Amino acid sequence: MKRHSGLRAQQAAATCVGYWPKMDSIRQSVNTSSGVQLEELVARVRCECARSSEVIAAYVYGSVLREDFVPGQSDIDVLLVVQDLRATPPINHIRQLATRELYNLDLTILTRSELEARIHPGWSRHYFLNVRNSGVCVHGTDILRDVSLDELSFAEAFRRLVQMTQRTRFVLVNERKEHETSFWLRKYQYWIPLCLMELLVLHGAPEYRVRMAHSAFVKRFSDLPLQIAYPYESLADLQTFLEHLTIWARDHQHLFVRAQAEASQYTASD
């Protein structure tokens, strides 16, 4: 994967890996939308992290580092890795970041043991590879540097896809669950693209933009038996799409397994 230069303020401290186009335009978009420079955001993260010895590492990642940052809509994604949340909880210091009106932060806090076990509240293991490839470590030790494609598996991605299909099926066939339709449709606007992003990574065509994951997937696999537009408008239509998608993914498992094996072999010989 091509490596791009990162922020001037931290070029000596970290290597930026992933999708980093036109940093000058990124700085400008952040400046005009949130009234804060990207370097100022990084400085603030570092300042708050330094107030607690429990914070091992901090990462800034996501659309704030890319051209698809949408002023007033996009979150600024920050991951903090802490040693422990029992002894000297750094939550109060960390909360100073999330409560400032200056930022629209989406703050994820994981303990070191959770990270080492690759456990995330909403994502699969793909989350850690995504942060490593589309973000930058701005504080502490880059403990995601060794995360590799080998840690992902088609079986895990397929399992998540099947579980989402089962949930839509369950909600739609049980009338007493009708009031949950809008809730699950809203959740799946985000969760399904995450699953498609993981499948794209396994196939060697990573897409780091959640809003573009669905279109990137259907464009890459034009033989899908059924396609719908994104954002999803109906849970019933989405359920039909998922039923077809799970069968298609099961029958095309070999494509993802082979592509992952080839990528791993190439990385090992590089």
- pLDDT tens digits along 130-173: 999 888 999 999 999 999 999 999 999 999 999 999 999 999 99
CATH code reported for the domain at 8-146: 3.30.460.10
Domain layout of the chain by residue ranges: 8-146, 150-269
CA separation for the pair 222, 226 (Å, rounded): 10
Sheet with 135-140: list strands edge to edge. Answer: 105-111, 76-82, 55-61, 135-140
Tokens of 62: 């996501």
Query: Is there a contact between 102 and 36 (Cβ–Cβ < 8 Å)?
Result: yes
Backbone angles phi, psi at 17, to 5 degrees: -120, 135
Among 59, 55, 53, residue whose Cα is nearest residue 18: 59
Taking only the tens of pLDDT, the chain with its 270 residues reads: 333 333 333 332 333 333 333 334 444 444 444 445 677 778 878 887 887 788 899 999 988 887 777 766 778 888 999 887 765 555 666 666 555 555 677 888 899 999 999 999 888 999 999 999 888 999 999 999 999 999 999 999 999 999 999 999 999 999 999 999 999 999 999 999 999 999 999 999 999 888 899 999 999 999 998 889 999 999 999 999 999 999 999 999 999 999 999 988 766 555
62 phi-psi bin (left φ>0, alpha ψ -120 to 50, beta other): left
* Cα 212 to Cα 16, 192, 196, 215, distances in angstroms: 22, 12, 10, 6
